[in-house]
Amino acid sequence: MAAGALTASREGLEAGFIVGIVLVYLRRISHPQGRRSVWVGVFAAVLASMGLVACTQQAPWETVDDPAQSGSLVIYSGRSESLVDPIIQQFADATGIDVMVRYGSTSEMAATILEEGERSPADVFFAQDPGGLGAVADAGLLAQLPSELLSKIDSRFVSPDGLWTGISGRARVVAYNTETVDPDDLPDGLEGFTDPVWKGRIGLPPTNASFQTMVTGLRQVWGEEATRDWLEGILANEPIFYEKNTPTLAAVGTGEVDVGFVNHYYLYRFIAEEGESFPARNYFLPDGGPGSLVMVAGAGQVASGENESNAIKFIEFMLSPVAQQYFASSTFEYPLIEGVSTPPGLTPLAELNAIDIPLGDLADLRGTVALLQQIGYLP
């Protein structure tokens, strides 16, 4: 890095001299119009050299000939860079693998993999929620994960056909504004929020995969009818729709709404940004209904990728104590393996009264989306 910087500055200095000499000469021969050409040339040269660098970046399917290298790995990540880049870097440093990550939203990455089909250069699909993984799995694009890998975590957090595995857990909570809501007034279960006393005070993100997964859980546990009734009941309370968890929680914080149906870990992000005085806290529903669902962010190995063994190594690493500790302490998510302590301030997984729904049953988002569209949560 330093050598590169040195070379760059030396070359830059030389170039600067040349340009300076040309400019002075132009002034000497009284040809000031030429100066514009000089600057255009400089700009074009800078552009060309940067473009050349960008264009010659190695594409992922080009195999590395050097046997000393550990190979490469292509990850399509629906999890944001600011969250997972540190742990991915750790993996890269530890293994010497050249890791190339594409960041986007889970649905965009899923759509891309689906579009690429069997030619996809991706090795790993790291998703924010099971929906995207399910869609890619349904298209037959994920490879079966080795059973030793799957045995590391609770079967609740693995897809039934072993095509993908959870990596970190997130619990559904009700975030509430500490200034306007007394936690004692909060109902024990989700059904309580259909009470008219909550009219105009609820916020939720209907397009968000986590919310939709929760509704899928409701359908599993309560059945279609009851779920429909609940949805209509909430709608009658004139909730405010947001597009994602983040704005929902932000709205709870400003008091735009008093409660929001979100995932648990966003709160910690806000507290880290704005301090302990941020006026919102998580409320874990005590009744143990599907409102307390624990979902996962997970990963699967894309079958068409060329770096199969590296992909497995990556997923293994994500399930290792190092990585799981990272998720617990840095992103405030639930670790899914034994032996890693729950982040402080979080109700431990075991005490969560979390409903026991196999993840496989939660992957059917389509039905949920149709229901939400019918009732009017989605256009």
Binding site for other proteins (CB under 8 A): 47, 50-51, 54-55, 57, 59-61, 74, 80-83, 100-105, 107-108, 110-112, 114-117, 119-121, 131-132, 135, 207, 209, 212, 240-244, 246-247, 249-251, 254-256, 266, 269-270, 273, 365-366, 369, 373, 378-379
Q: Which is nearer to other proteins, 17 or 241 (CB)?
A: 241
**C-beta of 122 vs 352, nearer to other proteins:** 122
Is the CB of 187 or the CB of 260 nearer to other proteins?
A: 260
- Please state the three-class secondary structure of the chain as a single string: CHHHHHHHHHHHHHHHHHHHHHHHHHHHCCCCCHHHHHHHHHHHHHHHHHHHHHHCCCCCCCCCCCCCCCCEEEEEECCCHHHHHHHHHHHHHHHCCEEEEEECCHHHHHHHHHHHHHHCCCCEEEECCHHHHHHHHHCCCEECCCHHHHCCCCHHHECCCCCEEEEEEEEEEEEEECCCCCHHHCCCCHHHHHCHHHCCCEEECCCCHHHHHHHHHHHHHHCHHHHHHHHHHHHHCCCEECCCHHHHHHHHHHCCCCEEEEECCHHHHHHHHHCCCCCEEEECCCCCCHHHCEEEEEEEEECCCCCHHHHHHHHHHHCCHHHHHHHHHHCCCEECCCCCCCCCCCCCHHHHCCCCCCHHHHCCHHHHHHHHHHHCCCC
Task: Report in angstroms how near the CB of residue 376 gets to other proteins at its nearest.
Answer: 8
Q: CB of residue 159 vs other proteins: minimum separation in angstroms?
A: 16
Residue of 92, 252, 90, 118 lying closest to 180 (CA atoms): 252
Contact between 130 and 295 (Cβ < 8 Å):
yes
The contacts of residue 179 (CB under 8 Å, 6+ apart) are 255, 279
Cβ closest to other proteins, residue 86 vs residue 146: 86
What is the closest distance, in whole angstroms, from the C-beta atom of residue 149 to other proteins in the complex? 25
Quote the least distance from Cβ 253 to other proteins, whole Å: 9
If the CB atoms of residues 240 and 322 are measured against other proteins, the closer one turns out to be 240
Q: How far is the CB of 47 from other proteins (least distance, A)?
A: 5
Least distance from C-beta 206 to other proteins, angstroms? Answer: 9
Q: Could you count the other beta carbons within 10 Å of the beta carbon of residue 332?
A: 22
Nearer to other proteins, 156 or 269 (CB): 269
Q: State the minimum distance, in angstroms, from the CB of residue 182 to other proteins.
A: 19
CB of residue 121 vs other proteins: minimum separation in angstroms?
7
Q: Which is nearer to other proteins, 145 or 280 (CB)?
A: 280
Instruction: Provide the minimum distance between the beta carbon of 352 and other proteins in the complex, in angstroms, as a whole number.
Output: 23
Tokens matching residue 135: 């869609």
Beta carbon nearer to other proteins, 150 or 363: 363
Of 121 and 169, nearer to other proteins (C-beta) is 121
